[in-house]
Structures are given as structure tokens and as C-alpha cells.
Chain A
């Protein structure tokens, strides 16, 4: 099956700093990557959808200037949480799809747990 990795798996940072999370598809080319946020004991909420080489599409209520997404290649997307605050502490999960517009299986990364002190 397709493998998606995330790095780092866990990060603790001070309030006001920026944190970059990487999402890589290891054995397939991901035309589309997705970023989700999951608060404790809650479901996954889609933050944004990114297609390689184009700007990300953000969901309503997600600040694009705070959550910078770059999808520079078919195997790598990055999420940068800028000027992080304690309320940004969450579990961030990426997923990747190689199916274009067709609704198909997304392959999920293992997640990154962000704690902002």
C-alpha cells in the first residue's frame, strides 16, 4: 500500500515561534495533499487542500496567513504554523491522493503532535 510519512512526529515549541511540518508520499506521486487538524477526543477537520504547483485551498475559518502550505513537488507538502500560540496545539495529520478529481482513497500520514507552550 501507499506510504505517507510526516516529520516531525512530535514537536514542542514556545509561543510566538514558527513550526514546519513535512508530509511526504514515499512510493507514489501525490497530485493532491490534504492537511487536517484533530483536537483531543474530536474528529478530523480538513484545514486545506493543496495541489502540486498551485496555491492551497483553505477551508472556511482557517487563516491562510497563519497556516502556510507549500506543495512544491509531487511527493512533498509542508505546513508551517506561523507565530504559534497555545491554542494551535493539536494533532496535525496530512494525507495524499494520486487520483486527481476522482474521489478515491486518501493515504494518511502518522500525524504530528504539536504542543505550544
Chain B
């Protein structure tokens, strides 16, 4: 069975601080995909990144960076120099090829960036 854990329910940081959102996943499949989505108060899910299980390279996109560690089954997300607009709920998600595109979402981490 697949599972995604986001241990941090809520995080508050002061603007310009760096913040890391943790994500731990479980699967026995060797081919899988990991995702991060942002859900602002408006409700619409915003796709941030997709990473496949064979690519462990870390990725940086502007202020966002992702650290994929298969050895610890983690896919952590770091926002540097946080801004108020980063306030949202962030979901880590997992899908495996053997499950017809079914995406398993983690419980989400609510990030509040205080000015």
C-alpha cells in the first residue's frame, strides 16, 4: 500500500525566513512519481513539481528547492526567503505506475508567513 506522511500540520515563519516542509512516503513499487502541490486560500491546486523515482537529483526553481532522498523515502521542500504570498497549504503526493495514475495525497502542511 502507498502512503504519504507530512508530519508538520502547521508551520508559521516570519517573512524572509527559510522553511522546509517534510514529506515521507511509503511504497513497494520501484517506479513511482512524487509531487508537490500548493493550495492557496482560493482552493485551486497549483502544481509545483513532479519527480520520478529514478531521478534523485535535487532541483531548484527560484526560491523553491526539493531534496529527494530514496534512502530515507523523503522528498522535502524548502522555500528560501519566504514571502507572505507563500502562505498556503502544501501537499506532497505519490503515484505509482501499477495503480492507474491514482495519486495519494499527504495530509498537507499549512504554512503561514507572517509579515
Contacts and interface: CB of A to CB of B under 8 A. Distances in A.
Interface residues of A, number: 27
B77 interface: no
Contacts of B101: 32, 34, 49, 97, 99, 101-104, 106
Interface in A40-95: 41-46, 49, 91, 93, 95
A110 B44 contact: yes
A103 B105 contact: no
Given A49-B102, A108-B47, A111-B43, A43 B108 contact: yes
Interface in B74-113: 91, 95-97, 99-103, 105-108, 110
A103 B43 contact: no
Contacts of A35: none
Given A95-B103, A108-B37, A108-B47, 6 more contacts: A34-B101, A41-B110, A43-B108, A44-B45, A44-B91, A113-B43
Interface of A: 1, 32, 34, 41-46, 49, 91, 93, 95, 97, 99, 101-111, 113
Interface of B: 31-33, 35, 37, 42-45, 47, 50, 91, 95-97, 99-103, 105-108, 110
